[in-house]
Chains A and B, each alone.
Chain A
Amino acid sequence: MADIYARLQKQIDDYVAMGEVQKAISLLQWSLETNKEDLQGWSKLAELARKKGDVEAELLALFTLAELQSAKPEQWLKLAEAADAAGMEQRARDARKRVEGHPAEPRVETPARTDARAKLPEPRVETPAQTDAQAKLQQRIDEYLAQGNLAKAIELQKWYLEIDKRNRRAWSTLADLARMEGNVALERLAQSMLAELEEQEPDEWPKLAEALPAADTVTPATARIRAPTSREIINGQALHPMIEVAEAVVEAGAVDLTHCYQCGTCSGSCPWTPLGRFNVRSFIGRTGLGFDYDENQDPWACLSCGLCADRCPNEIDIPGIARAVRSIIVKTGKAPDGVRLAISSVEISGNPWSGGREQRGKWAEALDLCPDPGHNYTLFSCCTTAYDPDSLGDGQATVRLLQSAGGDLCYEPGAETCCGDTVLACGYDQLFQRLSEHNRASLANARAVVVTSPHCLNAFRNHYDWRGRGPRVFHSVELLQEMVRDGRLNPELPVEGRVAYHDPCYLGRRNGVYQAPRDLLTSIPGLELVELSKHHEDSLCCGGGGGGIWQDVPKGERLADIRVLEAVERGSQILATACPLCLMVLRSSVTSLGLEERLSVASVSEILWRSVQGDRHE
């Protein structure tokens, strides 16, 4: 054993002499794992880590040394301060703990125990310092800086920050780099993030949000003007894989990125492919190699409609990959204008439509709803239902239907904030967490929640962490289906005509609700239900999902137009759906196509109410 140990030490010294500090550190760490009480080794590690600038490793070594030598309180305090300075809160807390009434016990380990332990691989040091991807990224950034490639270094620094968002040093590095590049907007962004991290006050968020839209003045990296080298000419358009970037995307949540074998099921299915707007397969392929995107791989194009993911033979959560990439882009302030505008509205007033908080309940004032949570159902209204003047009809019809069937309903608009479903799809993870905390708290006592939007349904059912104590959540059509079936609602007045039903992606594919809206429509006398060419699992997105509603799509590429035109071609007079976003997008399509005379867009609730109303006002 001693022999091996000596050899190891020699190798470490050799590495140090060769300047291979990182290798020396690694080997030293191995050595220390087999011989934990090697005081010399630990102090050497501290020294090397300092040389390398690896604060975490240094602190770890110092901590271990302090522990092995039963350090005095003042030494621990010193260490705590050092940890503070490095932004390592956990370590600082640990150190202080030892001073306050927890004098470190002298550790006397019998050699036998150490020996037995040495045979088992120990988990590596406590705090997950840098992850592998981070370390590699950091290394690559350093390399770029050494090469003088500032633009690449900045790009990578942004990816790095996505993984380690609260790293103040990294933000300040970004600020420095931006300053070096002359990118004022980016510098401002980095500094405001730094400020935010320091303040830690949620009230400061709007300030940041204000800063964000300004960041779109980001200037491209200044090209250094000089003659290209022959190597650069040969390099031409060729790209070098940037696996670190891909790994950063994986860390941001796209865990199944590597499963893709580029079969083309997704792109063949994606409604954008034939329009040439977005090639999802190419997007995934490029992300997997860490390449920049060309114009038809814009991650903001994905509507998260989920048709691709449903069909993907490798069960890849493709919208999840778009979401992960977006979450990184968001940090750099490069999200599309429309998205940033909507998000800052969510941050300031809890809805994406720039409506005032106090206005939220206005749509329901005529409805005789009380806020007392003792009722069977708590209504949760979509922001769109609440603020879009064209959508409130759907909300009111829904409430009236539920009430006339004896549904025991309460509503407290003041307690609501945006469900965050689209916020999450756009990559604003932290904001989503805050929204979800808010809503979880205000719905904590609800027995069952009824929502008007499939997006709220999706957020509540699939993304909120209710910690096992969540209420049951229903989309209104699910409850109404039951009520009609039980005879509590009697659609008696005929609604004559052909009605085409459009499956909202988030109601159908994402949550499996296909039959309820159809049952409701077919229960209405006189009404003939028409299926569009793509329906049920194969339904075509209206274009409003995944943040699509906040972005503008040029005429001729609007999916809603395809839906509306087909509904007209199939001779229907009404296009029905069950999602406020779909309603909004389809209605505006009807208007822009000038088809108001031939087709109206209505929610299932609105149509059903027309048929039910009769027996109330008899």
Chain B
Amino acid sequence: MSDRKRLAVYICHCGTNISAKVDVKQLSEFARGLPNVCLVKESTFMCSEPGQTMIQGDIAEHQLDGLVIASCSPLMHEGTFRAAVKSSGLNEYLMTMANIREQSSWVIEDPIQATGRAKAHVAGQVMKAARLEPLEPHRVPIKPSALVIGGGIAGMEAALQIAWAGHKVYLVEREPSIGGHMAQLDKTFPTMDCAACVLTPKMVSVGRHPNIELLTYSEVAGIEGYLGSFTVKVRKRARYVDAARCTGCGDCAQVCPVSIPNEQDMGLQDRRAIFRPFPQAVPNVFVVDRQKESSPCRSACPAGVNAHGYVKLISQGRYEQAFDLIAERVVFAGTLGRICPAPCERECSRELAGGHVGVRALKRFAADWYYRHRKASTGPAAVAMRPEGMAVVGSGPSGLACAFYLARKGFPVTVFEAHDKPGGLIRNAIPDFRAPQELVDREIELIRSSGVDIRCGVSVGQGGKTIGDLFREGFHTVYIAAGAGRDRKLSIPGEDAQGVMGAIEFLGAAKGGNPPSLSGRVVVVGVGNTAVDAARTALRLGARVVKIFGRESRAVMPAFPEEVAAAEAEGVSVQFLTTPVAFDTEGGRIKGVEFVRVRLDDQGDELQFIPVEGTSFKVQADTVLLALGQTPSTAGFASERIELNPDGTIKVDPETLSTNIRGVFAGGNVAAGPAPMVEALAAGRRAAHHMALYATRSTEEDPAYDDGRGTPRDQRAVLESRSYQVLAPARLPERPVRERLRDFGEVALGLEQEAARTEANRCLDCGGCCECRLCEASCEAKALDFSMKDEILEFDVGTIIVATGFGIGDPSRGNLARYGYKKYPDVYTSLEFERLNNALGPTNGKIRTRDGRTPESVAIIHCVGSRDKKHYPYCSRVCCLYSLKFASLVREKTSAEVYEFYIDMRSAGKNNEEFYQRLREEKVHFVRGKVAEVTDHALCPEEEGKLVVVGEDTLLQQAVRVSVDMVVLSVGMEPSADADKVAQMLRISRDRNGFFTERHPKLAPVTSFSEGIWLAGCAQGPKDIPDSVTQAGAAAVRALALIGAGELVLPAFVAWSSNELCSGCRMCMAMCPYSALSYDAKQRIAVVNEAMCKGCGTCVATCPSGAAQQRMFGDAQLFAEIRGILL
């Protein structure tokens, strides 16, 4: 032990807080007997001025080396005493406190025990005090700028205060405008003045103040550093509108075809995809709501066609633009609009609300309209011509799509087609009654007009030219899109008999100049679309009976149900779950087919067809058409060393579609096998992209192919956020059976304009902006910029104010569903009712039911979810009063009776009780009792057609049923949805209800647990507007005090690490909750950042080598303290 020290012990009575329990005389006696103690004094209040003066005097008079003050928690007065010690010249860290109030007198009932405990504390601190050493506090410089997170009333107020004091403020707001929830309110209680009138001038001041850098539509992405020098990263989301150019005229919103619920109006009315939340928005700049997730239809399309976009354009009557938008992704729009399997429709959110939007029919409509009203010509692309010649083998959908997009990029393209007419399977296998010849001609004409040279009758790779020939002829790059046009065979006896034919072969012959004539019985094997087409063609060619036999069941058949239905209507019979086992022939001619029944087994990945024994049966047939799928003819390409897959298709890179031979690409059915046309089209466009890249050798930037799909938005989420009517889809008119069987004319007719627009209007705008770009065209200021990207800004600030506000819960969740929210349209939440009253709201400020009536009675239900352990255990403080405000509005605007169902009326605060009294005088009815349920189940004539509020008036002990026209649910405030994220980022703590915790509920109500970060507004807990503004002012003052001081003095008892002992294991870094430790890679040691260390001691306890230590809590000091306690 060191030399004798001169220690003083001061025992505080804390009024009677300590002395009533602890025997202070005895404690003093005890202290006198402790080692090194030269002075013991008592005081009623050590923290008082005389108490402090006494300390100062004693230090000088008794030459003290150290002090122990036995009083309250150091949280309360450590600072007070340190200051007193310091001012008398002694190092302030030679003082230590024994907490004999919170640790003894308050918590121990028995006076003797309490005294014993107090002695232990004093002895511990005396022993420790003898080993204390002078320490120097850490000083941190403060950067003279602040960040305010959240642009509600609290955030704005705080920002303005700091700005007015002459310092730089960054105000970050997530929404496109500042204003927060207050901008949604109509009036404010208890004065009933207009929220906007009070708020707007404040918003304008914020927007105009030169010291405020306003970052709206932005989110804080990360915060590093520490008090005095935080480095802030802000993600400024792309508005797609140039703020400098936008004049706020609103022309763009006039033309935008998209309707989505307006958040500002709680979804009670719609806004456009390009919007500003409200007319007084600051900044007055529009924003395009392009969501991260795209419309499900769009991401379902293999070719990435912007279905949402063209559907919306059609709804606006902009048919030509709709066609152009389709043509950006696919050719053959008209044919596709007839025969596409339309995966988009399967994903359509409307499916759950009446039936999917008829996207395919609308595509057909756009194409038909275009071909009827516009010349089928786009003219050559308006880009510079490229020298590289492109060859395309095959003029099916894939080949022509590739050719078309290559031509648009300026390449000269030549398409080689073995047949005498271009079009591939569209030309040769799709019967005219599904897609007429003339249409195919027009669509090909359109492609030709873009500069594509189609040479028919030239076979490549199949006996005619070779790929090598093409390169020799000077072509730079080749795309093989030879399709898969050969019928697949069955390999069972009798297949070669006369009268057995492949379906493709049959369909081709039927479309040719000399169609086969049929009579008698036709059996079609297979139940895909080709089979159905063959069956229906056979009927039209004179067959008497046509039967389809398929392996699959109706539920899993590959053919479109509507096609099968049409065939059945025409008289084709379809048998499922059968497979042929033998062909019955006579003299080389087919006589019949023997089938066996199968059952399905989907145990594995693929569907298995298992024959059922003893179920075979025979069917007579004069002609058998085999529609069992197609294979490509690729032998010719293989002989040129182009690599094939085992199934005979060409092997390609799935991303670039390049083959193993440089400069040769392949796609469509020849590479992927038989697949819907839309996939072949997608492959064609993809190939064009990569062939162009290959040809121009642009490897540096190599823009990846944009397949235009994106992640789909969840359908249920869409439906939940929309209010919609369940509407049935449009049906395409069909020609009557009798008439259509006579010729090959089209069976399904297209939509009329009006029907098409009605159908298009059923679209729910799942993905927000549909990228139709009508806004871009309408903007005279040229402010639209769809290439805008999110920006990350980075700047330094000295201090941060968190004003992230609150959220409103959904009162249809859990057992609150009994109040009928979302079930009965006239049950509103409080914020919705605010919008109903607001002049900008859905009813222009009139209180109306959903069907437009003025209510005769309104019930306001207090504490919905509040003071409820299952929801919010706390009271939100404002609901009673805003409920009174609602009552006042209803009384003022209508003659309706108002019933307030309350539990306890909490109208504390200036003028609030008077407001309550006034409402009583205005004849508002108050019923004390929590509502049990709201129902529309009428029990008597007065209740018919009304909402019935059921409960008990607990004061009268009387069950009540009140019938009303409208119910308002007073929902409490909850932490904002991202409070957790904010808390983690800023390392501030949250209370058990999720609001940010203040350091002390009374003495530090705006201070967070993180140094230099202050709290304002409802982020800290529910409060009204005056309190939010007051607190924001307080937070600003705390921030300004820091900035004004220029530096902050931090307590000296932080951790330090011994460089000699540290082994560099970094366990301390993982444990430190404040990230105060970093690793010095050069010296291989951990380093403590004293500005960030809070002195929690976790690293000290963690450190395996004893290198981490804490000042004032060293081992020697702690052991001395323990010895003292055990004395």
Q: What is A's interface to B at a CB cutoff of 8 Å?
A: 3-4, 8, 30, 34, 116, 118-119, 121, 261-265, 267-269, 273-274, 276, 279, 281-282, 310-311, 313-315, 533-534, 537-538
- Report Cα–Cα, A314/B1126, bound state, in Å: 45
Cβ of B815 under 8 Å from chain A = yes
State the 6 A-B residue pairs at the shortest beta-carbon distance, nearest first: A268-B932, A313-B868, A264-B929, A268-B951, A533-B937, A269-B932
Supposing A267-B952, A268-B929, A313-B930 touch, asked if A261 and B110 sit within 8 A by C-beta, the answer is no
Closest to A280 in B: B952
Stretch at the interface among B74-82, B111-119, B617-625: B111-119
Name the one of A282, A311, A313, A314 contacting B818, with C-beta atoms under 8 angstroms: A311
Complex contact B930–A265 (CB within 8 A): yes
Complex contact A538–B937 (CB within 8 A): no
Complex contact A273–B952 (CB within 8 A): yes
Complex contact B903–A263 (CB within 8 A): yes
B116 partner residues in chain A, CB cutoff 8 A = 118-119
Complex contact B931–A315 (CB within 8 A): no
Supposing A269-B932, A533-B937 touch, asked if A264 and B113 sit within 8 A by C-beta, the answer is no
Among B802-824, those with CB < 8 Å from A are 815, 817-818
Complex contact B26–A4 (CB within 8 A): yes
A119 partner residues in chain B, CB cutoff 8 A = 113, 116-117, 120
How close is A138's CB to chain B, nearest CB, in angstroms?
Answer: 23
B870 partner residues in chain A, CB cutoff 8 A = 313, 315
Complex contact A269–B933 (CB within 8 A): yes
Closest to A273 in B: B959
Complex contact A264–B951 (CB within 8 A): yes
Supposing A4-B26, A116-B1126, A310-B815 touch, asked if A282 and B957 sit within 8 A by C-beta, the answer is yes
Cβ of B928 under 8 Å from chain A = yes
Among B929-957, those with CB < 8 Å from A are 929-933, 935, 937, 950-954, 957
Complex contact B954–A315 (CB within 8 A): no
DSSP majority for the B interface? mixed
Apart from A116-B1126, A273-B952, A276-B959, what 20 extra A-B contacts exist at CB < 8 Å?
A: A4-B23, A4-B112, A119-B117, A262-B954, A263-B954, A264-B953, A264-B954, A265-B930, A265-B931, A267-B929, A268-B951, A268-B959, A279-B952, A279-B957, A311-B815, A313-B863, A313-B868, A313-B869, A533-B937, A538-B933
Cβ of B139 under 8 Å from chain A = no
Closest to A537 in B: B815
- Report Cα–Cα, A21/B1057, bound state, in Å: 62
- Report Cα–Cα, A116/B954, bound state, in Å: 56
A537 partner residues in chain B, CB cutoff 8 A = 815, 817-818
Cβ of B867 under 8 Å from chain A = yes
Q: Can you give 25 contacting A-B residue pairs, CB < 8 Å?
A: A34-B113, A119-B113, A261-B867, A264-B929, A264-B930, A264-B951, A264-B954, A265-B932, A267-B929, A267-B952, A267-B954, A269-B932, A273-B959, A274-B959, A274-B961, A279-B952, A311-B815, A311-B932, A313-B868, A313-B870, A313-B930, A314-B868, A314-B869, A533-B935, A537-B818
A279 partner residues in chain B, CB cutoff 8 A = 952, 957
B930 partner residues in chain A, CB cutoff 8 A = 263-265, 268, 313
Closest to B111 in A: A4
Name the one of B113, B817, B928, B961 contacting A121, with C-beta atoms under 8 angstroms: B113
Chain B 839-880 near chain A by CB (<8 Å), digits 1 or 0: 000000000000000000000000100011111000000000
Chain B 901-940 near chain A by CB (<8 Å), digits 1 or 0: 0011000000000000000000000001111110101000
- Report Cα–Cα, A8/B23, bound state, in Å: 13
Closest to B871 in A: A313
- Report Cα–Cα, A74/B115, bound state, in Å: 42
Complex contact B867–A281 (CB within 8 A): no
- Report Cα–Cα, A197/B954, bound state, in Å: 45
Chain B 5-35 near chain A by CB (<8 Å), digits 1 or 0: 0000000000000000001001000000000
B112 partner residues in chain A, CB cutoff 8 A = 4, 8, 30, 34
Closest to A562 in B: B939
B120 partner residues in chain A, CB cutoff 8 A = 119
Chain B residue total in the interface (Cβ 8 A): 38
- Report Cα–Cα, A262/B870, bound state, in Å: 17
- Report Cα–Cα, A538/B814, bound state, in Å: 12
- Report Cα–Cα, A262/B955, bound state, in Å: 10
How close is A302's CB to chain B, nearest CB, in angstroms?
Answer: 16
- Report Cα–Cα, A269/B108, bound state, in Å: 45
Complex contact A281–B933 (CB within 8 A): no
Supposing A273-B952, A313-B867 touch, asked if A261 and B903 sit within 8 A by C-beta, the answer is yes
How close is A508's CB to chain B, nearest CB, in angstroms?
Answer: 13
B871 partner residues in chain A, CB cutoff 8 A = 313
Supposing A4-B26, A273-B959, A311-B932 touch, asked if A281 and B117 sit within 8 A by C-beta, the answer is no
- Report Cα–Cα, A69/B931, bound state, in Å: 68
Chain B 104-140 near chain A by CB (<8 Å), digits 1 or 0: 0000101011011100100000000000000000000
Supposing A4-B112, A267-B954, A282-B957 touch, asked if A315 and B869 sit within 8 A by C-beta, the answer is yes
How close is B980's CB to chain A, nearest CB, in angstroms?
Answer: 24
- Report Cα–Cα, A30/B108, bound state, in Å: 13
How close is B866's CB to chain A, nearest CB, in angstroms?
Answer: 8
Among B371-423, those with CB < 8 Å from A are none
Chain B 954-973 near chain A by CB (<8 Å), digits 1 or 0: 10010101000000000000
B108 partner residues in chain A, CB cutoff 8 A = 121
Closest to A8 in B: B112
B117 partner residues in chain A, CB cutoff 8 A = 119
- Report Cα–Cα, A314/B931, bound state, in Å: 15
A8 partner residues in chain B, CB cutoff 8 A = 112
Closest to A5 in B: B112
Which of B120, B933, B937, B961 has the most chain A CB atoms inside 10 A of its CB? Answer: B933
B903 partner residues in chain A, CB cutoff 8 A = 261, 263-264
B869 partner residues in chain A, CB cutoff 8 A = 313-315
A313 partner residues in chain B, CB cutoff 8 A = 863, 867-871, 930
Chain B 77-112 near chain A by CB (<8 Å), digits 1 or 0: 000000000000000000000000000000010101
Complex contact A264–B818 (CB within 8 A): no
Supposing A121-B113, A273-B959 touch, asked if A268 and B815 sit within 8 A by C-beta, the answer is no
Closest to B937 in A: A533
How close is B904's CB to chain A, nearest CB, in angstroms?
Answer: 8
B818 partner residues in chain A, CB cutoff 8 A = 311, 537-538
- Report Cα–Cα, A273/B957, bound state, in Å: 9
How close is A467's CB to chain B, nearest CB, in angstroms?
Answer: 30
- Report Cα–Cα, A121/B112, bound state, in Å: 11
- Report Cα–Cα, A30/B113, bound state, in Å: 10
A267 partner residues in chain B, CB cutoff 8 A = 929, 952, 954, 959
- Report Cα–Cα, A271/B950, bound state, in Å: 11
Closest to B960 in A: A268
- Report Cα–Cα, A264/B930, bound state, in Å: 5
- Report Cα–Cα, A4/B952, bound state, in Å: 59
A34 partner residues in chain B, CB cutoff 8 A = 112-113
B929 partner residues in chain A, CB cutoff 8 A = 263-264, 267-268
How close is A540's CB to chain B, nearest CB, in angstroms?
Answer: 11
- Report Cα–Cα, A262/B928, bound state, in Å: 10
How close is A199's CB to chain B, nearest CB, in angstroms?
Answer: 44
- Report Cα–Cα, A314/B117, bound state, in Å: 38
How close is A157's CB to chain B, nearest CB, in angstroms?
Answer: 31
- Report Cα–Cα, A533/B867, bound state, in Å: 28
How close is A113's CB to chain B, nearest CB, in angstroms?
Answer: 12
- Report Cα–Cα, A1/B116, bound state, in Å: 9
A262 partner residues in chain B, CB cutoff 8 A = 954
- Report Cα–Cα, A412/B184, bound state, in Å: 68
How close is B380's CB to chain A, nearest CB, in angstroms?
Answer: 62
- Report Cα–Cα, A314/B929, bound state, in Å: 15
- Report Cα–Cα, A313/B961, bound state, in Å: 21
- Report Cα–Cα, A3/B818, bound state, in Å: 67
B931 partner residues in chain A, CB cutoff 8 A = 265, 268
- Report Cα–Cα, A313/B937, bound state, in Å: 24
A265 partner residues in chain B, CB cutoff 8 A = 930-932, 951
- Report Cα–Cα, A34/B961, bound state, in Å: 64
- Report Cα–Cα, A34/B113, bound state, in Å: 8
